[in-house]
Structure 1
Amino acid sequence: MTERTGRCLCGAVSFKLAAEPLAARICWCRDCQHLAANGSVNLFVRTEDLVVSGSLSEYTKKADSGDEVTRQFCPSCGSHLFGKVATRPQFRVVRAGNLDDPSSIKPHMNIWVASAPGWACLDPTLERVEHQPQPPK
């Protein structure tokens, strides 16, 4: 595996991925659209494979999936970095745009396609899932 690193906009929070992501998906849920003003490319990783340096702020709410989701962001610049779901603490979501080399990953699926706006550019070569897919094993 190529080591993947990333950081927030101001650099106060940095992170390292110690293993390959389990999944790379473009999410079109309304929450991701609010966070990114578009679909958001998210990496699905094991919690133990994510090493974070710096302080994080959190915001928790119930997602469309019904799960309680905590989103973590830099308290200085506001960059949204990570997410975690109460029912699956063994996994974390990493926003791919914060990688130092976001081209090092390629999404394989569009999720929450039912919520995508009519103008969304959905790659026809990627699998489409209308709502929340099952987590990778």
Structure 2
Amino acid sequence: MTRITGGCLCGSLRYEAEGEPQFAGICCCADCRKASGSGFIPFMGFASEALRFSGAAAQFRSPCFRGGEALRNFCPSCGGLVFGGEAGKDTSHTIYAGSLDDPSLFRPTMAIFGRDKPHWLPVPPGLTVFETMPE
């Protein structure tokens, strides 16, 4: 079984995931671009039972596309974005692939919010591009 590990820049907020991600891709929505300071956020989705978090996290909530709130977790010491969702409450989480210890484990298959993609951002070949969120 695959073991995926990662964490923030200073190493205070960490995670460990067991198994393969349920999905992986890049998000080009305006919120992800602003949160990352980049053209997109690379993400991997896991069921909550496949993940274990350690260390303190600070949260930022913002409205999300289908209503409700998006919750981003980051390290209160270094500010590094690590995961999405509320630990202990949500049934699934996104891991921000930039936080992986081994970046070769990130294998995206989709790009979401293609309508918001900056003109200067090339989409890697082979990704399925969705204008917003896939159904």
1:29-68 alignment runs, 5 A limit: 29-36=29-36, 37-68=38-69
Q: Is the 8 A contact 2:2 2:18 kept in 1?
A: no
For 1:67-109, what per-residue CA distance to the aligned partner results, in whole angstroms no more than 9, with x for missing partners? 3111111000000111127xx9211010011010011121000
1:15-30 alignment runs, 5 A limit: 15-30=15-30
Structure 1: segments with no counterpart, 5+ residues: none
Q: TM-score scaled by structure 2? A: 0.91
Structure 2: segments with no counterpart, 5+ residues: none
* Superposition deviation, residue 66 in structure 1: 2.4
For 1:16-73, what per-residue CA distance to the aligned partner results, in whole angstroms no more than 9, with x for missing partners? 0022110001110111101222211100110111101101111111123323111111
* Superposition deviation, residue 133 in structure 1: 1.2
- Runs of 4+ that moved beyond 4 A: none
Q: TM-score scaled by structure 1? A: 0.90
RMSD after superposition? 1.5
SS of the aligned residue for 1:106 comes to coil
In the alignment, the residues of structure 1 paired with residue 64 and residue 41 of structure 2 have an alpha-carbon distance, to the nearest angstrom, of 15
In the alignment, the residues of structure 2 paired with residue 13 and residue 83 of structure 1 have an alpha-carbon distance, to the nearest angstrom, of 13
Aligned length: 132
